[in-house]
Amino acid sequence: MRHKFIKIHPSDNVVVALENLDVGTIVMVNGENFQLKLPIKAKHKFAQNYFLDGDEIYMYGGVVGKAKKNIEQGEALTIDNVAHKTEDYGVRKQIFDWQQPDISKFRNKTFNGYHRSDGQVGTANFWVVIPLVFCENRNAAVMKDAFLEELGFVRPNKYKQYVRQMVNKYKSGASPRSGMVLEEETATSTAVFKNVDGIKFLTHQGGCGGIRQDSEMLCALIAGYLNNPNVAGGTILSLGCQNAQISILQEKLKAVNPDFDKPLYILEQQQEGREENLLQKALQKTFEGLVEANKLQREPASLDKLTLGLECGGSDGFSGISANPAVGHASDIVVALSGKTMLAEFPELCGVEQQLINRCTNNAIADKFIHLMQTYAASAEAVGSGFDMNPSPGNIKDGLITDAMKSAGAAKKGGASPIVDVLDYAEYATKPGLNLLCTPGNDVESTTALAGSGANLILFTTGLGTPTGNPIAPVIKIASNSGLAERMPDIIDVDAGEVITGDKTIEEMGEELMEFIIAVASGKIQTKAQVLNQDDFIPWKRGISL
């Protein structure tokens, strides 16, 4: 049976519209009936009872705001009548007791991955080319242009064909608007290295200038990418005089994995002399590395070798009800199977800190989380911003009117399992279980960080539609509503909208997602982000980014 509205937690005092509600709609909550005096849009919240100015507003069982003025029963909550508010948080207050999900369906399942000598298993097999400084971006681009087509890694570009049509029409004197067809070009398998999924070129704007800590963090991030199990090896391009020195990268790589043994070629332009010398040597070394990478084949691996990054972007009022809890259930399954998951985006954990603190397995982990959250929040406030300014115009338009409301739903991606570790930016995940990773809420900066901390797959929920991917970690996009999945099928992999309609439970959706995860991890399905070559890579400069 399809429900028109939902009260998420027994202690909530707001109700969520699951579809557009007309004036006169009868609402029954906790045995009490009332009639809507104004229409309520789907995804938006309305008052269960009369609020006085200053009253606290509860959702997901916690405080997500306060009334800025008196609010009538059944009236929509908006940025005009609700302000951001959260509960205070502090020391760990209780011993957390977790009821594991039923994992009988997945206990003996495997995925086919690339086994590395350090015990990690990749869901893909990429070679990476990474400049240590933006001065080398052009050389990386030259290598990209030389390699991809010749090695069969590039997909046909249908937009080139479209431009070709316009050019031909222009030359013939016809209108370029008439008879134009955007056609898919037939892709032929021309890959030279059948066991290599591609060469990824991770250009960026860092490595010099700014503060020295940014260059140091960039080196730590690059070290994480090289150590990621989806990477077979890498070519590093250095200019020579930049802040991000080769020695710093080597130090960070040793810290993340003292026994690192993948092929790694580091070239410095100021030592090689002519640009031609650098590029010729880089091409030769990279080709040699691809030959070695191609020797590896997919083999069965148990599901404890999964490391899932948990991310959301373009969230809507349904994200915390459907897609995020479904991802949370999948996270709990992976944790119960002794795998690793990472929940990122610290500005979107604002208001649920105490709940997460209480889930930490010891006080030291809890204290580290508190320190990182307080430091981050203080840095934001110091420049005249704050976590309360995090919701985007799109979030607000679709029902997420305070950061605490957005965060309470976003945290659902982390399921209900204990938190075994808290990682600062660019720290690598090593402990099986749920980890918290300090990143901004910015989608690309956060997904970039998740792969750098070891994620071999990323689960990305969205309610509005976000065209984002990652160069080395397949990104699975989960829609919070079926309308989005139907409207943007080219970027959505999984539709969690059936949770909203009542056709599937969160548990059923989470298990369906697990089956999709296994197929992607085995290379049987390419995610939509992979098909579209969405290789987004933005290192976080440790300034303020929400």
Is residue 184 scored above 70 in pLDDT?
Answer: no
Specify whether 146 is located in the same domain as 230.
Answer: yes
Is residue 477 scored above 80 in pLDDT?
Answer: yes
| Confidence category of residue 544, pLDDT binned at 50, 70, 90 | low
Specify whether 162 is located in the same domain as 258.
Answer: yes
What is the residue-averaged pLDDT of the chain? Answer: 93
Q: Which residue has the tokens 């590039």?
A: 154
- Total number of domains in the chain: 3
Note the pTM of the prediction, 2 decimals.
0.93
Which range (24-28, 61-65, 215-219, 400-404) has the least confidence? Answer: 400-404
Q: Among 243, 268, 295, identify where a domain stops.
A: 295
- Average of per-residue pLDDT across 238-246: 97
Specify whether 290 is located in the same domain as 310.
Answer: no
Structure tokens at 189: 């398998």
Predicted local confidence at residue 131, as pLDDT:
98
Is residue 357 in some structural domain?
Answer: yes
What 512-518 contacts at long range (C-beta under 8 Å, 24+ apart), as own/partner pairs, is 513/326, 513/327, 513/329, 513/330, 513/459, 513/476, 513/478, 514/105, 514/106, 514/330, 514/333, 514/334, 516/476, 517/306, 517/308, 517/330, 517/457, 517/459, 517/476, 518/109, 518/111, 518/303
Specify whether 444 is located in the same domain as 357.
Answer: yes
State the residue range of the domain holding 38: 5-83
Specify whether 341 is located in the same domain as 476.
Answer: yes
Is residue 61 in some structural domain?
Answer: yes
Is residue 301 in some structural domain?
Answer: no
Specify whether 232 is located in the same domain as 330.
Answer: no
Specify whether 318 is located in the same domain as 424.
Answer: yes
Specify whether 274 is located in the same domain as 226.
Answer: yes
Which three-class secondary structure state does DSSP give residue 461? Answer: strand
Specify whether 251 is located in the same domain as 136.
Answer: yes
CATH number at residue 59: 2.30.130.110
CATH number at residue 253: 3.40.50
- Average of per-residue pLDDT across 490-507: 96
